[in-house]
Structure 1
Amino acid sequence: MTIIGITMGCPAGIGPEIILRSFAGKTFVADIQPVVLGDIHVLQKCGETLQLPAPCVEWTPGTPLPDASGGNCIPVVPLSSLASEDIEWGRPNKATGRAMAHYIEAGVKLAQQGVIDGIATCPISKSSLNDAGYHFPGHTEMLASLTKTSSFAMMMAGSRLRVTLVTIHCPLREVADRLTMQAVDRMIRITHKALTVDFGICDPQIAVAGLNPHGGENRLFGSEEEQIIGPAIMQAQKEHIGVSGPYPPDTVFFKAASGAFDAVVCMYHDQGLIPFKLLHFDDGVNITLGLPIVRTSVDHGTAYDIAGKGLASHRSLEEAIKLAAFISRNRAIEQVRNT
């Protein structure tokens, strides 16, 4: 049995709704046991508001788990007790910020202790997180700090396309200055390890996107391909990593989505996320690579504009839970191989 902890995310966002919908959908396979790290009162309020079943059962880690695979009950580790009247859908505050931080901290601790096999996180509000005194740009950086991880990366994964990013949250005008051979090389290696271990792919093939139109067109439109990206690819190839490129950004994603590559290493945020969300807007999964624990996440935000309205899709959360269990099993297999 693989136990995946679902952190509830911002109590005022769509996290509670997509959790209830996931359990109500009864889509979890028999060998995945999901548990919620969150707030029973908020889940019950959400259930009453949207007329969704919310059969929450308090669970103490270390005690036997009730069977939640059929959606008949929702095991919850109660980490906050927010008053219903203090929760206004779509309006986060310091209390919700502190609560969602506690869910993340508890998820990391339980995963490190081996009580759960991984975490699938619901969306948080970065501004509320900071207002509550947790000064991180987002989930990923907080998880890296809690696990004392210095080298980490974000992968967006779907059935047709996987992408990783050399630069993430920075102004577009700064991307070229932040690109280095070392940064590209690091991302190739992290991507290769994730595909090999987490996804269990033998001899994965990685494509690397160029930065400039037409891949620079022999320096006519830029030199980063020849001076930075190409040398990083050649270095990885010397160590027998299946990587090629740099490919023109306007064609590489079509090739990858058609099955030619297992992942694409992208130079900046929107270069990778625009094609990814075009294909996987509802069912994409965000994975944090490099952590000593398994962490997947929905690929969307708190959606405050639709919170409490019954309009949220739970497909991304379902896929995140399934993928967290899949990665956890693959890591266990790899650990056995190495012993």
Structure 2
Amino acid sequence: MEGKKFGITLGDPCGIGPEITLKALHAKMEYQKSALLFGTRSLLEYYNSLLGYEMRFNTIKKIEEWDDSAINVYDPHPVDISQIQVGVVTSLGGTIAFESVRAAIEFALRKDISSVVTAPLNKEALHLAGFPYAGHTEIFGAFTKGERYAMLLYSEKLKVIHVSTHVSLRKACDLCKKSRVLEVIHLAHETLKKIGYENPRIAVAGLNPHAGENGIFGDEEIKEIIPAIEEAKAEGLNVSGPIPPDTVFLKALQGSWDIVVAMYHDQGHIPLKMLSFESGVNITVGLDVIRTSVDHGTAFDIAGTLKASEKSLLKAIEIGEKL
């Protein structure tokens, strides 16, 4: 990262986060000099031995304690390895995951690190620990600044940004409002411009089957989505839609657009995960802290087996650098 320090949160310690983090740092050793890990040091020592690596760790409390000859770690909740139940949902796992994210945000807000890359946490563990957040996106939304933010899934094949994410499908329909659709169109445009797209081509998916079929299958397109698109076009943005949800992703994949505005979580996640499960990246856009993440879960079923892939994490670090 050309001398810039960045953070990696290890996610839920009972999942695959610590394993894929060490694998990523082993695969790209240049990252070892600039990555600050947030999580349980005893667990890093455990996986370091299990993987047969010879990495050396340095625990810090402030950035001035940085050691260029080691991998630097901020451990917000030190515990012995015997307290970690690998592969199990626990309140301790939720506590460590949350405190790691909060610490990384504080370092980023102080400009000690340039961005935060997050390994997966578990929402059930988070809630068991008493932290009622739906996920990383909502934690970053609560503790950083930004009038508007959204979840953007990034892969080489397909890019999707969401009007709503971790809410019920019923609520997602209620959240489909002109103002929100318009701000997500803006966030899509701004983010792709930062990444290097000169004139991002944005497709907006419909909410209803056939994009409502002129009101036959629902009127959200007529009342909320089309007015947002028209306003964005009047501002000079390259926007199309609403496009029927059953065809918009295929057309984007074929090159018609650079990004799709999806109306709700599964509408955007299903096509992207089908195409790029191992290399997709989750980005929280619109905030004053740059955050990228793997686009997969804690995978408790394979935690500790050394089968987890670090590909998505490596891509998340790369995109964080571009942003």
Do they fold alike, i.e. is TM over 0.5?
A: yes
Query: Is 2:260 the counterpart of 1:259?
Result: no
SS in 2 for 1:62: helix
CA contact (8 A) 1:8 1:16 kept: yes
Correspondence list, 1:87-236, <5 A: 87-197=84-194, 199-236=195-232
CA contact (8 A) 2:58 2:67 kept: no
Distance of 2:37 and 2:256 partners within structure 1: 38
* 1:70 corresponds to: none
CA contact (8 A) 1:7 1:104 kept: yes
Correspondence list, 1:238-277, <5 A: 238-277=234-273
Query: Is 2:51 the counterpart of 1:51?
Result: yes
Q: 1:316 to 1:133 in 2, by over 3 A?
A: same
SS in 2 for 1:246: strand
* 2:37 corresponds to: 36
Letter matched to residue 23 of structure 1 = L
Deviation at 1:59, TM superposition (A): 4.7
TM-score, normalization by structure 2: 0.92
Q: 1:27 to 1:264 in 2, by over 3 A?
A: farther
Distance of 2:67 and 2:76 partners within structure 1: 17
Q: 1:29 to 1:96 in 2, by over 3 A?
A: closer
SS in 1 for 2:180: helix
* 1:17 corresponds to: 19
* 1:66 corresponds to: 68
Letter matched to residue 222 of structure 1 = G
Q: Deviations over 1:126-163 (max 9, x none)?
A: 22222223222221111111114442110000112111
Q: Which of 277, 293, 311 matches 2:307?
A: 311
Distance of 1:151 and 1:313 partners within structure 2: 32
Distance of 2:225 and 2:149 partners within structure 1: 20
Distance of 2:171 and 2:84 partners within structure 1: 39
CA contact (8 A) 2:185 2:261 kept: yes
Distance of 1:146 and 1:177 partners within structure 2: 25
Q: Deviations over 1:41-89 (max 9, x none)?
A: 11111233x434151321531245426xxxxx53322333211111121
Deviation at 1:119, TM superposition (A): 0.5
Q: Deviations over 1:205-263 (max 9, x none)?
A: 11001122222223333322222211110011111111111111122112212222121
SS in 1 for 2:38: strand
SS in 1 for 2:121: coil
Distance of 2:218 and 2:91 partners within structure 1: 46
* 2:74 corresponds to: 77
Where does the alignment leave 5 or more consecutive residues of structure 2 unmatched? none
Distance of 1:186 and 1:267 partners within structure 2: 13
Q: Deviations over 1:164-208 (max 9, x none)?
A: 1112122223433332112211211121122223x1322211100
Deviation at 1:121, TM superposition (A): 0.5
SS in 2 for 1:137: coil
Distance of 1:130 and 1:294 partners within structure 2: 25
Where does the alignment leave 5 or more consecutive residues of structure 1 unmatched? 68-72, 328-339
CA contact (8 A) 2:9 2:118 kept: yes
* 2:278 corresponds to: 282
Distance of 1:137 and 1:176 partners within structure 2: 18
Distance of 1:206 and 1:212 partners within structure 2: 19
CA contact (8 A) 2:204 2:239 kept: yes
TM-score, normalization by structure 1: 0.88
Q: 1:54 to 1:87 in 2, by over 3 A?
A: farther
Number of residue pairs matched? 319
Q: 1:174 to 1:140 in 2, by over 3 A?
A: closer
Deviation at 1:117, TM superposition (A): 0.6
CA contact (8 A) 1:98 1:132 kept: yes
Q: 1:273 to 1:28 in 2, by over 3 A?
A: farther
* 1:300 corresponds to: 296
